[in-house]
Structure 1
């Protein structure tokens, strides 16, 4: 399989792959089309450490040119280390992970090369070439030799790879190249669109996507093009957690999809779960840390998905003064609600958020809790938003709590309370 740039490392391919952020997913449909330009995913890999090790094995193949068999040995070590119970037969699963990541990163690297203005002046055309598949797809075979300007919209949906295991390629060409090969620049083939249902077994539920006939769902995009256009799709500067009054405007990010089902009904909590009304911030933080056995030193807490969170006093320390502080959106007496969100969430979501100041996407996990405190009219809401660049949160009693939480249920659903 030709997925390396000759015998030398293909730097554009390596740069593309390294520019991704690890995104936990339950299903292959959780990250779709151009979202793969920003997210590295392995369906069913939810734990960060597991995903990081799988990524390392793939990157080793991309940067060093290791074979599928070598990748399978690395894969077996990662699976054994983490005890991962993955879906599918080993040979099939490893082939899908390895081939799709190597081939699409290679294609994205080629797109980066083709974007060079001087090169495009000399070679302004693209030629579609069918691969050497043992069982060729009729539509892919019919596109063999299609020759179009590189800026023709047809390439936005038909740039290879165009399906699982597809080995088709796109080549640059000059007018002389086209003449020498006996080809002709002609109008793009007509696109026949069709609706396909995907994600029937996904925690986020099934949805209908529109794809060109002959292309597998999820492949109807040009790998790497969303980066090259100096545009990050669906990623916006925003407040991490909007105030309840702004819940009608969902925060942006990637993926930007909501679940098909409602949030579990609020669970009951006794009134004593709240702290006294006049509790000090220091005492509230002490109790919070005590519930995680982190009063004296930071500790590693495993959430309901098995992922690790480091809990410690530094979560509440002002970076400049070292004083114990809370975020303005968290009340001291309601800090136990944040404990509920972390220890017993109703849902956990994962999303990539674009940070202009950092010039990159950051993975965040969002823990949501919806509870009914005895004696209170309105339900209480607790949100814990955690990423590599820190955390933020919200606690409060909200009369339109369901509407508020609905605006925060975006991304990849990693966990949902069922009882």
Structure 2
């Protein structure tokens, strides 16, 4: 199986695999479903040194594009070095370890690529294609050619690989691709669930799981999706952005030098009144309008590359309660200005970065701050929109307060190292 994208290394696949943690297990059911996004396991490998060496052999196969026979040489060396007594024959066991890890890391890497909002604009559909399995499943053959928007909930459980030995794939497609292939978008195939018993031979005993028909237990998830969801920065609980009128000393960071930029912020840009959302929407509607600005949905986050090339993962979790998972937008009182916050991320006036030491937690964090001002039609003063994101989450300020346009307050926000300034266009 190829592990390269064109002539370039498939870095997203490699990064996904390297992000796993070695977890000793006695049976394959010890780690289940999305837990495989985070854990490298080999059923029956209970010793960490054995697991570490086997992981190295798999990573070598992924990063260097080794064939199964080449991997088997490393597999034999690891087995011999540790005297590992594994279940099943050599050919079957080495194939399962090789193919499952390579295919699922490949699929996870492709899912990361598909989360790019610009790519999704051009190719918004996913097409299910059956592989060349020796013993094809009837359901997988039936799903062949299924074409759905990439954010359709069906993909959450039916994104390949969908079982042991499954070689099905999901491809991105534009409307032109769909027309050329003679496909039709939707509806999603009906999903019928069934109870399956797993772990009959596990030391922990059997248990019953519920999975869609046609999908093996443990494969009913989109590879890498849980990692993408986890990468969405949560709303920061501590160290909020300063309110207009705050003292300068209360917002100074430590670490990167606080270089104040010459000149004022670029002039406020004119914006139509419809950039303010209507009142009375639900939290879900407000979130949907914000996410749509980036090509994301509540079900599918995206990786947005800003004007400096840095990535921000945009998803529902930006606005959720960390404990309950419920949306909390209207309680913050700035729901109507959410599109202005999106504008600040997509097309900022300036981007600043600074290293700040958090004395309360004895750690340093790097934070990027996006600053923009807009003159909204019908509003007496410009709106200030600020989005700041770091390892500890994000915080934002969007306000029409007159104090927010005070030069002293704006200078408090322009600290650290400036990475970007929006070019000014002279009007003649």
Normalised by the size of structure 1, how large is the TM-score?
0.55
How far did residue 152 of structure 1 move?
0.4
Deviations 1:279-319 (A, max 9, x none): xxxxxxxxxxxxxxxxxxxxxxxxxxxxxxxxxxxxxxxxx
**1:15 is aligned to 2:15:** yes
Distance between the aligned counterparts of 2:50 and 2:202, measured in 1? 20
Deviations 1:197-220 (A, max 9, x none): 000111111111000000111100
Distance between the aligned counterparts of 1:134 and 1:70, measured in 2? 22
Residue 221 of structure 2: SS of its match in structure 1?
Answer: coil
1:317 is matched with which residue?
Answer: none
Residue 209 of structure 2: SS of its match in structure 1?
Answer: strand
Conservation of the 8 A alpha-carbon contact between 1:4 and 1:62: no
Residue 111 of structure 1: SS of its match in structure 2?
Answer: helix
Conservation of the 8 A alpha-carbon contact between 2:3 and 2:9: no
1:139 is matched with which residue?
Answer: 139
1:37 is matched with which residue?
Answer: 37
1:104 is matched with which residue?
Answer: 104
Distance between the aligned counterparts of 1:183 and 1:2, measured in 2? 27
Residue 79 of structure 2: SS of its match in structure 1?
Answer: helix
1:216 is matched with which residue?
Answer: 216
Relative contact order higher in (CA < 8 Å, ≥ 6 apart): 1
How far did residue 133 of structure 1 move?
1.6
How far did residue 231 of structure 1 move?
5.8
Conservation of the 8 A alpha-carbon contact between 2:2 and 2:65: no
How far did residue 18 of structure 1 move?
0.2
How far did residue 230 of structure 1 move?
2.5
How far did residue 2 of structure 1 move?
3.9
Distance between the aligned counterparts of 2:70 and 2:195, measured in 1? 39
1:50 is matched with which residue?
Answer: 50
1:166 is matched with which residue?
Answer: 166
1:287 is matched with which residue?
Answer: none
1:27 is matched with which residue?
Answer: 27
Distance between the aligned counterparts of 1:201 and 1:231, measured in 2? 36
How far did residue 6 of structure 1 move?
4.0
Conservation of the 8 A alpha-carbon contact between 1:4 and 1:106: no
**1:203 is aligned to 2:203:** yes
How far did residue 3 of structure 1 move?
4.4
Residue 126 of structure 1: SS of its match in structure 2?
Answer: strand
Conservation of the 8 A alpha-carbon contact between 1:9 and 1:65: no
Distance between the aligned counterparts of 1:92 and 1:210, measured in 2? 27
Distance between the aligned counterparts of 2:189 and 2:3, measured in 1? 27
Deviations 1:53-103 (A, max 9, x none): 000000000000111111111011011111111111000000000000000
How far did residue 7 of structure 1 move?
4.7
**1:83 is aligned to 2:88:** no
Residue 194 of structure 2: SS of its match in structure 1?
Answer: strand
Q: 1:171 to 1:358 in 2, by over 3 A?
A: farther
Residue 9 of structure 2: SS of its match in structure 1?
Answer: coil
Distance between the aligned counterparts of 1:132 and 1:203, measured in 2? 35
Distance between the aligned counterparts of 2:116 and 2:172, measured in 1? 11
1:92 is matched with which residue?
Answer: 92
Q: 1:248-259 to 2 correspondence within 5 Å? A: none
Residue 177 of structure 2: SS of its match in structure 1?
Answer: helix
How far did residue 134 of structure 1 move?
2.4
Residue 208 of structure 2: SS of its match in structure 1?
Answer: strand
1:152 is matched with which residue?
Answer: 152
2:355 is matched with which residue?
Answer: none
Distance between the aligned counterparts of 2:46 and 2:199, measured in 1? 17
Conservation of the 8 A alpha-carbon contact between 1:161 and 1:168: yes
Q: 1:143-292 to 2 correspondence within 5 Å? A: 143-230=143-230
Aligned residue pair count: 235
1:124 is matched with which residue?
Answer: 124
Conservation of the 8 A alpha-carbon contact between 2:131 and 2:167: yes
Deviations 1:305-362 (A, max 9, x none): xxxxxxxxxxxxxxxxxxxxxxxxxxxxxxxxxxxxxxxxxxxxxxxxxxxx899xxx
Q: 1:224-373 to 2 correspondence within 5 Å? A: 224-230=224-230
Distance between the aligned counterparts of 1:58 and 1:43, measured in 2? 14
**1:113 is aligned to 2:119:** no
Q: 1:9 to 1:38 in 2, by over 3 A?
A: same
Gaps of 5+ in 2: 233-362, 366-428
Distance between the aligned counterparts of 1:218 and 1:17, measured in 2? 18
Distance between the aligned counterparts of 2:6 and 2:94, measured in 1? 23
